[in-house]
Amino acid sequence: MTFIRKARHALGGIAAASVLALSIATPAYATYEAGVQAYMNGQYSQALDIWKRFAVAGDVRSKKILGDVYSGKTLEGAKTAASPLEAIPVDNVQALVWYTLAAYHDFTSYQTPSASEVNARILAEQRLPDIRARMSTADVGKAEGLVAQTFEAGSAYDIYRLGDMYQKGAGLDKNNTKALQMYALAQERGVGEASAAYEFLSPLMGKKEIETALEKAETWQPPLPPEYKGKTRQQEEMERLKRELEEIKMAEALKAVSDIDVELVQRALNALGFRAGTVDNKLGAGTRGAIRRFQYSTVARDTKLSEEDKQAVVTGVLTPRQTVELFKDAAKSEHPMSQYVVGIMHVRGIGVEQNGQEAVKWLEKAGMEHNLAIAHYALGVVYRDGTTGLNEVSPDERKSAYHLAQASALGYKPANDALRRLSFEYTRDIQ
């Protein structure tokens, strides 16, 4: 079955489904002390990774030590010739974030915090004025924003504590509107202390302030889990998996490119000036030579490839991706049949994602601008049945009838039967 015949058959409806089971390995167990040991051994990135994991999980010692290393303090006893400051540059924003989180760490979830944990919180609080004094107003604001984001991403009680910090101006600039917003959110989530704080604060505020706080509470969305530099590991892993899925999807789509007739390839090559010769639907010497010329023209633009690599790409046989690029190039050069082929590719998801609007765009160029009968026919079927995938095209009987009639008038016989069936179905529907 030729590509055109397959296209006609497939235009009536397309469905595809795939299932992929994925699993993500969990990180190995580590401790705060393991982070210290890694640091002492000069494994600074590993130490930071361990401490950040435990800090996010709620370890006050990890929070405080992160403030230390980002503020430029060097831990005594590090057994390495390399300077820790070279591996962990001073970052006052990060230092202020972690010191603030440590200084306002909540021990209510502990029955009895250890002396080292209490000491970590006290030392972090003592370091805050010194760190702030080094920083610009803008950097302090940036750090405070990250602190607020961390509390907002936490539990309902963390949100209540953020409100308390805003109300008292403790660790953050005093802001009663934000405080009341946080109290309202925590109250909705069942924190009893938040209700009492709300009742105490609201009489001290103006009507407009209260309205603003409640409006913000209604539209509030929890932020992503905190990771202050770059993307979280979970985000990176999900993006990697997404790329893999896209590659798998594209590989499946490219398999269908082998359906495309040599005749259509020859026409596209000739349209671009690569001299494939007589259009005979055979992959002969003339067609292979034209393919080599097309392949070389594409790799010649890639300055990263060596001459040896370029020659390895010039094979005389199109890869699926090269076939897609050939038709795209020919379509852009106003070759009607290639515009039709690209349109069908978008309808069926051959080498490209299914995209109804793109399909219509290219089919209309071939049909409306160049009077290609088969393109009008394809548009008639698209508007008769609609499309799936991205930017779906909804059925439109009027447009379907118009394009089928145009195809019929241009001598495309299959359009006659399609037009009659469309008329029959329309008459049946209105009876």
For residue range 303-354, what is the model confidence (pLDDT) as tens digits?
A: 665 666 556 577 888 888 888 899 999 999 999 999 999 999 898 888 888 8
Confidence (pLDDT) at 428: 47
Partner residues linked to 266 by β-bridges: none
Sign of CA dihedral 77, 79, 83, 84: negative
CATH 1.25.40.10 residue spans of the chain: 334-431
Return the SS3 of 275: coil
Q: Does pLDDT of 224 surpass 70? A: no
Confidence (pLDDT) at 238: 63
Confidence (pLDDT) at 204: 92
Confidence of residue 207 (pLDDT cuts 50, 70, 90): very high
Q: What digits encode the pLDDT tens for the residues 358-415?
A: 999 999 999 999 999 999 999 999 999 898 888 889 999 899 999 999 999 999 888 8
Confidence (pLDDT) at 308: 61
**Helical spans, DSSP H, in 23-172:** 32-40, 44-57, 60-70, 84-87, 92-103, 115-134, 137-152, 156-168
In this structure, are residues 258 and 242 in contact, taking their beta carbons and an 8 Å threshold? Answer: no
Confidence (pLDDT) at 377: 92
Mean pLDDT throughout 260-287? 90
Q: What digits encode the pLDDT tens for the residues 158-168?
A: 888 888 889 98
Using CA atoms, how far apart are residues 69 and 62, in angstroms rounded to an integer?
Answer: 11
The 3-class secondary structure across 381-418, one letter per residue, is HHHHHCCCCECCCCCCHHHHHHHHHHHHHCCCCHHHHH
Which of the residue ranges 82-86, 220-224, 262-266 has the most confident prediction, judged by mean pLDDT? 262-266
Using CA atoms, how far apart are residues 74 and 68, in angstroms rounded to an integer?
Answer: 8
In this structure, are residues 35 and 54 in contact, taking their beta carbons and an 8 Å threshold? Answer: yes
**Could you tell me the end-to-end alpha-carbon distance of the chain, in angstroms, rounded to an integer?**
38
Using CA atoms, how far apart are residues 195 and 184, in angstroms rounded to an integer?
Answer: 8
Angle at 241 between CA 22 and CA 223, to 5 degrees: 100
Is the pTM higher than 0.75? The answer reads no
Using CA atoms, how far apart are residues 99 and 126, in angstroms rounded to an integer?
Answer: 9
Confidence (pLDDT) at 301: 65
Confidence (pLDDT) at 154: 75
Mean pLDDT score of the chain: 80
Closest CA to 267 of 335, 316, 364, 206: 335
In CATH, the architecture of 334-431 is Alpha Horseshoe (1.25)
Q: Does pLDDT of 110 surpass 60? A: no
Confidence (pLDDT) at 150: 81
Q: Does pLDDT of 56 surpass 50? A: yes
Q: What digits encode the pLDDT tens for the residues 7-38?
A: 555 454 332 222 222 222 233 334 788 888 88
Task: Look up residue 121 and give its two tokens.
Answer: 């919180």
Q: What digits encode the pLDDT tens for the residues 164-198?
A: 889 988 888 899 999 999 999 988 888 888 899 99
